[in-house]
């Protein structure tokens, strides 16, 4: 009887699951059909002719909506919320409007406030829900469902186990166990509560998010971009800047935001923020640390200010005559043009004032000459009048009026502005300047640098000025950016493009609606200044792990890292749960963090791979065979090798297509399995214990450590 009862229960469970899958398949079919209808309607709208600027703006909006619908292919529907009152809502990648305008949306956008309980409701805090359902799809087919009762109905009276801290645990762990492809995917169906809290946090000031390896820092950062662009539509008019640590990292995350329907995004590294400027040389960590300090900002401001001209008499020639603009007048023009403006902007305003002053001087001199002529003419008339016969008319002085009208003075000013000799004179007195040469002038003059940066020691000044850069290093870029900003653009023209992101990408002085910084612990104080220039509103989200910092600066806490940029005006948040790295690997990190001088507890791993980390002593030639074995075990996934800088070239020579990276290059990446070669060599590098912490935590399943002999 008990066997039959067990069999009946299994059959009932299978039937219930089949029914649930069939139910969700019907809804998915309906959502796909409605999505396609909306896309076709928008396509027809876009085929209409554009007659004016208003129509162009409307077409841009419709095009964004159309592209969003087209991108919403995989995972269109991934969740369902069953409320205690019987209301059922489905949650998906995008919102889809029902055919009846008065109805609720057919599909809730995951970013909508009504969808938030999908990420935050728990059995302890069900938020009015009876059940949450995770829906797994493959293309247009429902592959499975996972139900989470939230009303306590499924809890056994004898079950006193603590509730899981994970939302949608089954779906989450299934996603974490999937093979890695070398590209990041979206995680909108498995976001956890502490991640969602950060994604939906206010964007009114700097938010600094500390998160150890595998806590989903990058997932949070990118989904926060999508959430903010959805919630604050005006941000799309300014674009959002995403700063990553390396081009490889940007390639890794490249498809996430487009998959979420967002295109008003510019992705870059600090090295690529200046249009047309590339890093062309390496520099020592010592020099990089010196050049990364905040003291360079006031030093560069003083340097550029010293290049401004001083007031003196300006002697200008116009149509064969010399005119002098007195020093006092020049000083007044400088005082109105310079304060609060970039060098070239102030120069432009001052030049316009000189054109006006010269035009006025020409008009005044002409008036004076005419007055002299008129006095002489009146003497002649007086003598003529005394000898004239009665009744004979004569000319009056009022008939002679050679004064320039306002329109004539404006025309004169325009002619002066187009005069090349005057332009050359102003250029010689107040020259236009190149940012690169201006910076090189400072970096090649120890005495000048000592004057403008007194906080640097004589030894540091000698180090910083030892090489005059022809090609730029990574640590030069923030200094060059600061000089370019202080000088300003010579060309006031604005580069246009069809999309906001294209316009923003081509302009150094673009002001973004929001900036997201990933691996933010690596930024120097001068790189933070680059961020602030692009987002003066300080609407910034920075995610990172201060314990993984490998940059040349000496910061070991977030307060030290951001004090120069934000002072005390920033908000801290923390991600505490490690989803990626298995418990077996995280257990190795405690001693490494201690040696790195960490002030933080490592994140708590919530999953186990069942594979203990292993270690072998091998020759260089044997590494390839081990890598092949590992690739065989993780077919369809990825394997990566992390090694000290000194070992990378040799390993790449024997490993072929297996990626071999330094700890710095591996930051932010993940593989199914990692081969860690020569851990002691990594630990011996500058900030090597931090690097080793990075190297240990790249895998989702298996870690092998190799000692080379």
- Number of Cβ within 10 Å of residue 499's Cβ equals 14
Dihedrals φ, ψ of 82, to 5°? -105, 110
* H or E element in which residue 32 lies: helix 2-46
The binding site for ATP consists of 211-218
- Our measurement of the distance from residue 117's CA atom to the centroid of its chain's CA atoms, rounded to an integer in Å, reads 29
SS3 571: strand
Reading the block at residue 561, the tokens are: 């890292």
Query: Cα separation of 637 and 505, whole Å?
Result: 34
How far is CA 289 from each of CA 35, 70, 281, 285, rounded to the nearest angstrom? 53, 47, 16, 6
Residues with Cβ within 8 Å of 537's Cβ and at least 6 positions away in sequence, in order, are 513
Q: Cα angle at 649 between 646 and 655, to 5 degrees? A: 125
**381: burial class by Cβ within 10 Å (0-12, 13-18, 19+)?**
middle
**278: burial class by Cβ within 10 Å (0-12, 13-18, 19+)?**
exposed
Interior/surface letters 306-331, b for 16+ CB within 10 angstroms, e for the rest? eeeeebeebebebeeeebebeeebbe
Query: What sign results for the dihedral spanned by CA atoms 163, 168, 173, 176?
Result: negative
Residue pointed to by tokens 């003083």: 302
The binding site consists of 211-218
Quickly list H helices, 72-192: 117-120, 169-176
How far is CA 450 from each of CA 46, 298, 524, rounded to the nearest angstrom? 61, 13, 21
Residue pointed to by tokens 């993984």: 548
Backbone torsion region of residue 494, taken as left when φ is above 0, otherwise alpha when ψ lies between -120 and 50, otherwise beta = beta
Looking at residue 107, the DSSP 8-state letter turns out to be B
Query: Cα separation of 136 and 401, whole Å?
Result: 90
8 A C-beta contact, residue 546 and residue 520:
no
- Number of Cβ within 10 Å of residue 47's Cβ equals 7
Q: Work out the angle between the directed axes of helices 343-387 and 476-487 (0-180°, nearest 10).
A: 20
């Amino acid at each position: 009887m008990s066997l039959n009862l067990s069999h009946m229960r299994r059959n009932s469970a299978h039937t219930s699951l089949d029914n649930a899958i069939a139910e969700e398949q019907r809804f998915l079919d309906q959502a796909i059909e409605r999505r396609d209808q909306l896309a076709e309607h928008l396509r027809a709208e876009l085929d209409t002719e554009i007659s004016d600027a208003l129509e162009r703006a409307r077409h841009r909006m419709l095009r964004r909506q159309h592209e969003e619908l087209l991108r919403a292919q995989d995972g269109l529907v991934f969740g369902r919320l069953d409320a205690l009152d019987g209301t059922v809502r489905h949650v998906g990648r995008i919102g889809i409007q029902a055919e009846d305008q008065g109805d609720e949306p057919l599909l809730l956008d995951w970013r909508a406030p009504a969808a938030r309980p999908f990420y935050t409701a728990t059995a302890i805090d069900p938020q009015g829900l009876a059940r949450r359902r995770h829906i797994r799809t493959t293309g247009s087919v429902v592959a499975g469902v996972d139900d989470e009762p939230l009303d306590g109905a499924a809890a056994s009276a004898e079950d006193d186990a603590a509730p899981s801290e994970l939302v949608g645990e089954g779906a989450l762990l299934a996603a974490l166990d999937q093979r890695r492809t070398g590209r990041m995917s979206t995680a909108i169906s498995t976001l956890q509560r502490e991640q969602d809290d950060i994604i939906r946090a206010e964007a009114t000031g700097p938010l600094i998010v500390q998160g150890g390896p595998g806590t989903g820092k990058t997932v949070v950062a990118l989904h926060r971009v999508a959430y903010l662009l959805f919630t604050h539509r005006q941000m799309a008019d300014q674009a959002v800047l995403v700063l990553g640590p390396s081009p490889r990292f940007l390639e890794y995350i490249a498809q996430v935001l487009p998959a979420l329907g967002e295109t008003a995004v510019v992705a870059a590294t600090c090295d690529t923020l200046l249009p047309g400027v590339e890093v062309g040389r390496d520099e020592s960590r010592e020099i990089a640390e010196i050049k990364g300090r905040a003291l360079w900002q006031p030093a560069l401001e003083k340097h550029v200010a010293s290049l401004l001209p001083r007031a003196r008499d300006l002697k200008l020639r116009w149509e064969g005559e010399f005119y002098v603009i007195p020093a006092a007048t020049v000083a007044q023009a400088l005082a109105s043009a310079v304060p609060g403006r970039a060098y070239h902007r102030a120069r432009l305003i001052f030049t316009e004032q000189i054109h006006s002053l010269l035009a006025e001087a020409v008009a005044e001199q002409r008036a004076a000459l005419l007055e002299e002529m008129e006095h002489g003419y009146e003497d002649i008339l007086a003598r003529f009048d005394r000898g004239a016969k009665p009744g004979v008319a004569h000319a009056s002085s009022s008939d002679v009026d050679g004064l320039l009208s306002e329109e004539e003075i404006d025309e004169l000013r325009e002619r002066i502005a187009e005069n090349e000799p005057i332009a050359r004179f102003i250029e010689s007195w107040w020259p236009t300047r190149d940012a690169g040469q201006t910076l090189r002038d400072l970096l090649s003059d120890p005495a000048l640098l000592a004057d403008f940066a007194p906080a640097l020691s004589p030894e540091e000044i000698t180090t910083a000025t030892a090489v005059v850069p022809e090609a730029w290093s990574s640590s030069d870029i923030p200094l060059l950016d600061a000089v370019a900003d202080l000088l300003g653009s010579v060309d006031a023209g604005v580069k246009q493009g069809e999309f906001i992101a294209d316009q923003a990408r081509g302009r150094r002085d673009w002001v973004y609606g929001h900036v997201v910084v990933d691996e933010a612990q690596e930024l120097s104080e001068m790189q933070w200044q680059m961020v602030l220039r692009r987002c003066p509103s300080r609407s910034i989200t920075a995610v990172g792990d201060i314990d993984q910092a490998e940059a040349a600066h000496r910061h070991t806490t977030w307060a030290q890292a951001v004090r120069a940029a934000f002072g005390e005006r920033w908000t801290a948040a923390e991600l505490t749960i490690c989803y990626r790295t298995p418990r077996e690997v995280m257990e190795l990190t405690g001693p490494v963090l201690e040696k790195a001088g960490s002030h933080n507890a490592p994140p708590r791993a919530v999953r186990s791979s069942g594979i203990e980390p292993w270690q072998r002593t091998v020759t260089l030639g044997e590494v390839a065979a081990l890598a092949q074995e590992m690739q065989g075990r993780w077919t369809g996934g990825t394997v990566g090798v992390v090694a000290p800088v000194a070992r990378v070239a040799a390993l790449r020579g024997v490993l072929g297509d297996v990626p071999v990276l330094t700890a710095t290059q591996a930051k932010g990446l993940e593989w199914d399995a990692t081969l860690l070669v020569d851990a002691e060599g990594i630990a011996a590098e500058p900030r090597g214990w931090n690097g080793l912490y990075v190297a240990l935590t790249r895998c989702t399943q298996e870690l092998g450590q190799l000692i080379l002999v």
